[in-house]
Amino acid sequence: MFGEFLPSLSQLGALAAVTSTLAALGGLGALAGGRGLRSADLVVGWGLVTIVLTLAGLAWPGSLSLTGWGCLGAGLLAAVITIRQRGLLPPSLPWVLVLALPLILMVTAMQPSQWDEFSQWLHSVRYLVENNAFPSRAGPVFEGSFAAYPFANSFPAFLASLLAGGFLENAGAIVNVFVCIVYCLVLAELMAEGSGRPQALRSPAVIAVALLAGTVGNPTFVPKVVFTAYADAPTALALTLVGVLGWRMLAALAEDDLIRARRLALQAGLVGATLLSLKQANLVLFLLALMGMAAVMLRDPALRRARSGLYLVMIMVPALLPYLAWRWHVTHQFPGAEFVVRPMAQWATDIVPEILARMGSVASNKGGHFTVLAVVLVLALRAMLRMRTGFDRLVVIAAFIALGYNAFLLFAYVTAFDRGEALSVASFWRYNMHVGPVAWAALIYGVATQWRWSLPQAARWALPALVLVAPLVTVKFFRFDLRAPKLYVRAVAAEMRPLLPEGARLSVVDPADSGFYALLMKYLQHGRASAVDRMYLDQPPDTPEAIGKQLGRFAPSHAWVHIPTDATRRVFGQPLPAGASYLLARDGSAGWTMVKSWPYPGYANPHDIRD
């Protein structure tokens, strides 16, 4: 059990590089944000670095490393200055780090294992490290799925890789565990503010409650998404912070505290720069947050509308800088390479009832999250009728984001997705993970306003102990990377590398799989094989004719048969006994020869290694 919490020396080095990078981002955020929301410092600094790296990288291709070193140096200097002035750490952070240490170590010991990591996010970081520039038509080919995706999600891992002297494969997941911790810090601050007890931020019991509420207690917490290199957790955190910072800005404006309002608007704008540069569709989330703030301005009698509207513009300016620069780059370098709304004549309006029914079915299976959204919506409707409290403002902002985003998803399914994806409401639950945390934060604040955190003495120590022990008990649930098939393919790929000549063209033949193991093999053979072709379930079908046609089209020099079938035996002219995978090399134009085989470790049936 304890071995699953013990990172290797190289992984500990990655942890050191990531924490140093995050300290630099936090220092920049603390210096830029002034005395705003302390728990937002990391993402504020992230947004500032996003602006600098995006503008510099587009204006001067090949300058990312130099600019990155400048950001790291300035950030660490800013951290020192901030510590000397007022202390860098929010009062809750020391207890958070102590209680979250088992979780941090466990995630550090993990290795990438999920689909989108190998199809996009790891390629993004590695491209920046190896090429010192963004993808372009003149540069090397980007091996991920979407070269037009913005790169803010990759910037912390890129900076950490600079410190480490090379590409850090697990940096993205380590960044995201700290993203999760920052979200818990935000919840702790909301609980302390709502209960009127700022001293609660120094209580280990309250911090333990925040950690539980931000992880296993959060209805949209999914470890396979949060503890990976995916951009979903940073999106959820940045969106939550934009909403909370905008809410605090409105409170400052209601009190005529214009200096504090400006600081909070600047923080919200820099966090918005992070949000807009994480994913292309995040513009919708950002605009919905602004619409929620505008709705509060219209309904709250304590706010002067014209003046408040100027502060929304103050949020938008820094947020849009890197977004517009990246849009210019994509328009000129990757025209037509994006997911776009189709012409109106091609909209799938005829299947709207089926799409709504499927969305309802997914919602019924994720009752916790959608119950939270329903409660927030009801409370927001009440608040719109009569806005009286700070909670009313926050819940309106959260409701605009959550309800508006689900309406946008319906629009996207009808206008942009293909019919198959629309009917299956592709990734509907995962997209809702972006808006769930802000709604959950609003609800927790509302609960805190009614509960004064009078915990029994026994609970004050039992809760921190529970947080410390929980990862030990649930390690199998969290260590989803320890799947025998993935470990097997990684081991095979490592032994295969020296067997492949430079520039080899490799076909991965796996008719029983969805294509994941071919993606993994392509990622692992980077720099060795010049191209990797995927032949998987239904693409082509498991017939000799289809496999032979695909081999003729791709013209590989080598083929790796993951799970042999009768069709693959006939095509390659080899016996390929069950119970192993095989590397074959093309023997001129006449046929194939066996290079090496790898038995499945301990499996009686080869199909048992399916993940």
Beta-bridge partner residues of 505: 531
Name the residue type at position 569: R
When mean pLDDT is compared across 44-58, 265-279, 589-603, the lowest value belongs to 589-603
CA-to-CA distance for 529 and 559, rounded, in angstroms? 11
| Alpha carbon distances (Å) from 180 to 97, 292, 331, 333, 424 | 11, 24, 34, 34, 29
**pLDDT, average across residues 236-240:** 98
**pLDDT, average across residues 565-582:** 93
**pLDDT, average across residues 358-367:** 94
Query: What pLDDT, on the 0 to 100 scale, is given for residue 208?
Result: 92
Say yes or no to pLDDT of 218 above 80: yes
Give 88's pLDDT tier (boundaries 50, 70, 90). Answer: low
Query: Dihedral of the CA atoms 555, 560, 566, 567 (nearest 10)?
Result: -20
What digits encode the pLDDT tens for the residues 397-421?
Answer: 999 999 999 999 999 999 999 899 9
**The 3-state secondary structure of 10-77, one letter per residue:** HHHHHHHHHHHHHHHHHHHHHHHHCCCCHHHHHHHHHHHHHHHHHHHHHHCCCCHHHHHHHHHHHHHH
Say yes or no to pLDDT of 275 above 80: yes
What digits encode the pLDDT tens for the residues 540-555?
Answer: 778 899 999 999 999 9
**pLDDT, average across residues 372-396:** 95
| Alpha carbon distances (Å) from 530 to 506, 526, 596 | 8, 8, 20
Instruction: Evaluate whether 562 touches 537 at the Cβ level (below 8 Å).
Output: no
Phi, psi dihedral angles at 6 (to 5 degrees): -105, 105
Element of type H or E holding 388: none
Say yes or no to pLDDT of 603 above 60: no
Query: What pLDDT, on the 0 to 100 scale, is given for residue 245?
Result: 97
**pLDDT, average across residues 144-168:** 96
Beta strand pairing call for 580-587 and 558-561: antiparallel
Residues in the chain: 611
Query: What pLDDT, on the 0 to 100 scale, is given for residue 602?
Result: 66
**pLDDT, average across residues 131-143:** 93
Q: What is the pTM of this model?
A: 0.94
Give the E-state strand segments of 211-333 in sequence order.
none
**b/e map of 118-156 (b: 16 or more CB within 10 Å)?**
bbbbbbbbbbbbebbbbbbeebeebbbebbbbbbbbbbb
Query: What pLDDT, on the 0 to 100 scale, is given for residue 452?
Result: 65
CB proximity list for 336: less than 8 A, separation 6 or greater: none
Compare 462 and 25 and report the one with higher pLDDT. 25
Six-digit token string for 366: 């994720």
**pLDDT, average across residues 283-288:** 98
Six-digit token string for 78: 């800013």
Give 342's pLDDT tier (boundaries 50, 70, 90). Answer: confident
Q: What percent of the chain has pLDDT over 90?
A: 74
When mean pLDDT is compared across 2-16, 78-92, 158-172, 244-258, the lowest value belongs to 78-92
Domains within the chain, CATH numbers bracketed:
2-450 (no CATH), 484-609 (3.40.50)
Question: What is the DSSP track for 401-427?
Answer: HHHHHHHHHHHHHHHTS-HHHHHTTTT
- DSSP state for residue 343 in the 8-state scheme: P
Say yes or no to pLDDT of 604 above 50: no
Give 461's pLDDT tier (boundaries 50, 70, 90). Answer: confident
The per-residue pLDDT of the chain, averaged, comes to 91
Compare 307 and 121 and report the one with higher pLDDT. 121
CA-to-CA distance for 586 and 592, rounded, in angstroms? 5
**pLDDT, average across residues 177-204:** 90
By C-alpha distance, which of 71, 136, 103, 111 is closest to 475? Answer: 103
**pLDDT, average across residues 311-331:** 96
Angle between helices 232-254 and 171-195 (to 10 degrees): 30
Residue that has been written with the tokens 């990862």 in this structure? 471
Give 157's pLDDT tier (boundaries 50, 70, 90). Answer: very high
Query: What pLDDT, on the 0 to 100 scale, is given for residue 583?
Result: 97
Instruction: Evaluate whether 185 touches 96 at the Cβ level (below 8 Å).
Output: yes
CA-to-CA distance for 233 and 222, rounded, in angstroms? 10
When mean pLDDT is compared across 188-197, 226-235, 502-511, the lowest value belongs to 188-197
When mean pLDDT is compared across 298-307, 492-501, 583-592, 602-611, the lowest value belongs to 602-611
Phi, psi dihedral angles at 144 (to 5 degrees): -75, -175
